[in-house]
Amino acid sequence: MAEVLGRSGVFSLRGHRSVAPSCQKRSPSFLGFPLSSSRPIGPPRSSSRRFVIGTRRGRSIKGNSSSSRVQMSLGVGKSLKWWEKGVQPNMKEIGSAQDLVDSLLNEGDKLVIVDFFSPGCGGCKALHPKICRIAEMNPHVLFLQINYEKHKSMCYSLHVHVLPFFRFYRGAHGRLCSFSCTNATIKKFKDALAKHTTDRCSLGPTKGLEESELVALAANKDLSFNYTRKPVPVLTPDEAAEKVPLSPKLPVSSAPRVIKDSEDKALVAAGT
């Protein structure tokens, strides 16, 4: 028996505890319980399984750190703001004054509707789904959205003081109409859309913003927008004469002739 115990190295013949050379490096333990010696010690084996978010507490999750970050980014997605929901391909948010001017000039004879809104405007939020449906049904119309909170200075230069507010532009005609409407008065918007979406071909270059609006935007120090006023053409004397309207000829009154005739008749009657 002593020989068996001596071989195992658990107890010596003198009764003292000893450690066998093969057991000097003890396997790591988890909560005080030794791991099985048959399981290899080292870094965890790589696994192709994805991380599953929301597993039960206490259950280990297999996978690598990269897949964990991907799953977390997918699980916690960025929520859309109300003005970003339902946006159609023909709807565009304006980023600057130059972007607005270029967007109007680049559309040619196409109808462009500028939509002024604010994130805190309840009427704008209620009207937004209908505007998105109208844009979906009219893919040939361009809708430009301007966030009032981001571009207060630009809206001030464009004389926009009430929301929601809309302006219609088209080709050489420039601004066609401007008005404010709510969810209850959406018919005003539909009537203007039906009136200005008719087939037409405007002669001349695209006008875009009014001259006074462009000058106001350029004068605004908060905006990085430059504009040079168009020079006024100098007319020659002949051209100026053609431009001056001729005053209509006034009819010559026949009252003095009538008076003269009445005087002659009076003299004849008196025998003179």
User: Which two tokens mark 203?
Assistant: 């002669």
Of these residues, 23, 121, 155, 177, which one is catalytic?
121
- How many CB atoms are located within 10 Å of the residue 120 CB? 10
Q: By the 8 A CB rule, do 6 and 13 touch?
A: yes
Of these residues, 124, 155, 181, 201, which one is catalytic?
124
Q: Give the Cα separation of 95 and 150 in Å (integer).
A: 9
> Which residue from 136, 129, 205 is spatially nearest to 164, judged by alpha carbons?
129
Backbone angles phi, psi at 152, to 5 degrees: -60, -45
Active site residue 124: yes
Q: Where are the beta strands (DSSP E) in the chain?
A: 29-30, 33-34, 91-93, 111-117, 142-147, 165-170, 174-180
Q: Give the Cα separation of 8 and 24 in Å (integer).
A: 13
Torsion of CA 24, 29, 34, 39, to 10 degrees: -90
> Which residue from 95, 85, 203, 190 is spatially nearest to 141, judged by alpha carbons?
190
Hunting for tokens 């195992």 — which residue is that? Answer: 8
Give first-to-last CA distance, the chain, whole Å: 186
- Angle, vertex CA 127, rays to CA 121 and CA 129, nearest 5: 120
Q: By the 8 A CB rule, do 192 and 177 touch?
A: yes
Catalytic positions are 121, 124
